[in-house]
């Protein structure tokens, strides 16, 4: 058998553990996994030596914003940044684009806007908003990965939150079709208005109780309906025990957190530094430690970016007012390095990182060809140097507006090459995709 591509590494991160191996790809899929030194006939044979070989990451939480707010972020820029960051699949969030993805017609507009522009594969979440319950089954049929809802103001008027009764009714109808609901779990009643440059006041305006109250509602509704629910961007670590309890009771609940909650702590954030604003907020170092423990214990399932960019002028650059600034941190290109920088110091392995950032999100979104180095899966591969450190230069970030709280930070672990279905994406100038975008628009498996 002649393969299209063989990639060898002494540190190949396989589902069963890291070992020396050769990944052989044919027709865009992994056709065989052989010993590192095996003689194989291939069109191209790449030996990474001691560089690690990871499965392409699956980032299930990316706000692309196109169409409608393409000046915030678009498919071309978001997916270029993803490729550079070792992310070979993104799942686009249903809000901040216009129209939001709350009907089959809106999904068709999304897919038309994305067609031909994507450097990595793209799947789509649908949205659950008041009044669109009739659109959920046809959107599910059309292949969305599940449905996103809010329990607090989303920040955009065209994507209102669900009330408690609506939450339960939506979960009931999704249970009937075995579709997943992913929830922005902050309770509006616990959120206070915030203004000014003081980061501590902003954090206090969105307390852990806001997350706790919302997650309680999700757990109760999931228990009552038998539906699958997922908590996006968990920040408040004192909710970890509640999530663990729900899981132990057999409730179909999963949770994710984000690189910024695992990397930054509120004590480090200068007043007026609105590039750190996101909702829920980055909390203190003790909270960060407890989030890590929840992740390491398997209570938190996934780490995904919540890449949510906006033009710099919406970050209130003149005033540094946390009340006025748009909330969102764009990090699809940096998530792997940010998480690995901390994980390695904690004695975690690349196996852990691949589980949190590739296999688990692929399972969440029901994309069975993604997230694992296994025969039959897509040949989505990442060559990663776990020892190389670099200083984040915002000017080299490829998303549309390189505003980032990571600017100037030294991160450890660098993506050296990314393959999408067996095709190398990055040129000699590390970080920038070259050629033509060949990402596909995915349908849930
Ligand atoms: Zn988000």
pLDDT recorded at residue 228: 98
1 CA to middle of ligand 1, Å? 45
CA 79, CA 426: separation in Å to the nearest integer? 12
CA of 280 to the centre of ligand 1 (A): 10
User: Ligand 1 center to residue 307 CA distance, Å?
Assistant: 7
Alpha carbon of 306 to ligand 1 centroid (Å): 5
Could you identify the residue written with the tokens 């109250």?
213
CA of 69 to the centre of ligand 1 (A): 15
Distance from Cα 278 to the centre of ligand 1, integer Å: 9
From CA 349, how far away is CA 363, in angstroms rounded?
20
Q: Are 174 and 208 in contact (CB under 8 A)?
A: no
Question: What pLDDT is recorded for position 429?
Answer: 67
The predicted structure's pLDDT at residue 3: 98
**Residue 310 C-alpha to ligand 1 middle, in angstroms?**
12
Instruction: Give the distance (Å) from ligand 1 centre to CA of residue 274.
Output: 17
Q: Give yes or no for a contact between 278 and 287, defined as CB atoms under 8 angstroms apart.
A: no
Question: Buried b vs exposed e over 304-342: b needs ≥16 C-beta within 10 Å?
Answer: bbbbbbbeeebbbeeebbbbbbbbbbbbbbbbbbbbbbb
CA of 116 to the centre of ligand 1 (A): 24
- What is the whole-number distance in angstroms between the Cα of residue 79 and the centre of ligand 1? 16
Q: How far is the CA of 292 from the centre of ligand 1 (A)?
A: 20
Please state, in angstroms and as integers, the Cα–Cα distance from residue 393 to each residue in 208, 331, 364, 408, 433, following that order.
33, 13, 32, 6, 17
> What confidence score (pLDDT) does residue 445 get?
85
Q: Could you tell me the distance, in angstroms and rounded to a whole number, from the CA of residue 333 to the centre of ligand 1? A: 16
C-alpha of residue 412 to centroid of ligand 1, in Å? 25
Cα 308 to ligand 1 centroid, rounded to whole Å = 6
* Cis-peptide, bond into residue 99, ω within 30° of zero: yes
Task: Give residue 58 CA to ligand 1 midpoint distance, Å.
Answer: 15
State the distance from the centre of ligand 1 to the C-alpha of 124, rounded, in angstroms: 13
Q: What angle do CA 227, 230, 234 make, to 5 degrees?
A: 150
- Per the DSSP assignment, residues forming a β-bridge with 414 are 385
Report d(CA 179, CA 282) in Å as an integer. 30
Q: What is the C-alpha separation between 149 and 101, in angstroms, rounded?
A: 11
What pLDDT was estimated at residue 430?
62
pLDDT of the chain, 445 residues: tens digit per residue: 899 999 999 999 999 999 999 999 999 999 999 999 999 999 999 999 999 999 999 999 999 999 999 999 999 999 999 999 999 999 999 999 999 999 999 999 999 999 999 999 999 999 999 999 999 999 999 999 999 999 999 989 999 999 999 999 999 999 999 999 999 999 999 999 999 999 999 999 999 999 999 999 999 999 999 999 999 999 999 999 999 999 999 999 999 999 999 999 999 999 999 999 999 999 999 999 999 999 999 999 999 999 998 888 998 888 999 999 999 999 999 999 999 999 999 999 999 999 999 999 999 999 999 999 999 999 999 999 999 999 999 999 999 998 899 999 999 999 999 999 999 999 876 668 888 999 999 999 8
Rounded distance from Cα 49 to ligand 1 centre (Å): 37
* 93 Cα–ligand 1 center, Å: 7
Q: Which two tokens stand for residue 320?
A: 């540094």
Task: Write phi, then psi, for 139 (nearest 5 degrees).
Answer: -65, -40
The backbone torsions φ and ψ at residue 322, rounded to the nearest 5 degrees and listed phi first, read -70, -25
CA-nearest of 159, 109, 170 to 136 is 170
**What's the gap in Å between 28 CA and the centre of ligand 1?**
31
Ligand 1 centroid distance, CA of 181 (Å)? 14
In whole angstroms, give the CA distance from residue 247 to residue 237. 16
Residue 21 C-alpha to ligand 1 middle, in angstroms?
36
Among 417, 416, 392, CA closest to 405: 392
**pLDDT for res 435:** 87
- Cα(428) to centroid(ligand 1), Å: 32
Q: Give burial (CB, 10 Å; 0-12/13-18/19+) of 160.
A: middle
Q: Give the distance (Å) from ligand 1 centre to CA of residue 376.
A: 31
pTM over 0.95: yes
Q: How far is the CA of 62 from the centre of ligand 1 (A)?
A: 7
């Amino acid at each position: 058998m002649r393969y299209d591509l063989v990639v060898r590494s002494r540190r190949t991160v396989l589902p069963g553990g890291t070992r020396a191996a050769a990944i052989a790809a044919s027709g865009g899929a992994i056709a065989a996994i052989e010993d590192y030194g095996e003689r194989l006939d291939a069109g191209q044979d790449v030996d990474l030596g001691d560089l690690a070989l990871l499965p392409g990451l699956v980032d299930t939480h990316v706000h692309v914003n196109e169409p409608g707010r393409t000046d915030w972020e678009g498919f071309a820029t978001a997916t270029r940044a993803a490729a550079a960051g070792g992310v070979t699949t993104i799942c686009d969030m249903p809000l901040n684009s216009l129209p939001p993805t709350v009907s089959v017609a809106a999904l068709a507009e999304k897919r038309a806007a994305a067609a031909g522009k994507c450097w990595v594969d793209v799947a789509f979440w649908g949205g659950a908003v008041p009044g669109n319950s009739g659109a959920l089954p046809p959107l599910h049929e059309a292949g969305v990965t599940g449905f996103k809802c809010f329990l607090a103001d989303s920040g955009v008027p065209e994507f209102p939150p669900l009330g408690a009764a609506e939450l339960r009714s939506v979960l009931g109808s999704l249970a009937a079709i075995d579709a997943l609901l992913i929830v922005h779990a902050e309770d509006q009643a616990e959120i206070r208005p915030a203004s000014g440059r003081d980061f501590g006041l902003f954090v206090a305006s969105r307390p852990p109780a806001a997350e706790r109250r919302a997650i309680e509602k999700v757990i109760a509704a999931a228990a009552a309906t038998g539906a699958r629910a997922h908590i996006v961007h968990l920040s408040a670590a004192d909710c970890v025990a509640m999530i663990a309890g729900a899981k132990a009771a057999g409730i179909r609940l999963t949770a994710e957190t984000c690189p910024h909650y695992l990397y930054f702590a509120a004590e480090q954030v200068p007043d007026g530094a609105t590039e750190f604003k996101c909702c829920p907020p980055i909390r203190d170092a003790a909270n960060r430690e407890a989030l890590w423990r929840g992740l390491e214990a398997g209570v938190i399932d996934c780490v995904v970016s919540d890449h949510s960019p906006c033009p710099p002028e919406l970050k209130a650059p003149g005033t540094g007012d946390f009340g006025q600034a748009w909330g969102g941190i764009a990090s699809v290109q940096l998530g792997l390095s940010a998480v690995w920088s901390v994980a390695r110091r904690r004695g975690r392995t690349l196996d852990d990182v691949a589980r949190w950032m590739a296999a688990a999100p692929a399972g969440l979104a029901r994309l069975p060809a993604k997230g694992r180095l296994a025969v039959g899966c897509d040949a989505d591969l990442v060559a990663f140097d776990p020892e190389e450190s670099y200083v984040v230069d915002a000017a080299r970030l490829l998303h549309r507006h390189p505003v980032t709280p990571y600017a100037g930070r030294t991160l450890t672990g660098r993506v050296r090459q990314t393959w999408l279905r067996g095709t190398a994406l990055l040129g000699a100038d590390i970080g920038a995709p070259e050629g033509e975008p060949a990402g596909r628009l995915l349908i849930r498996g």
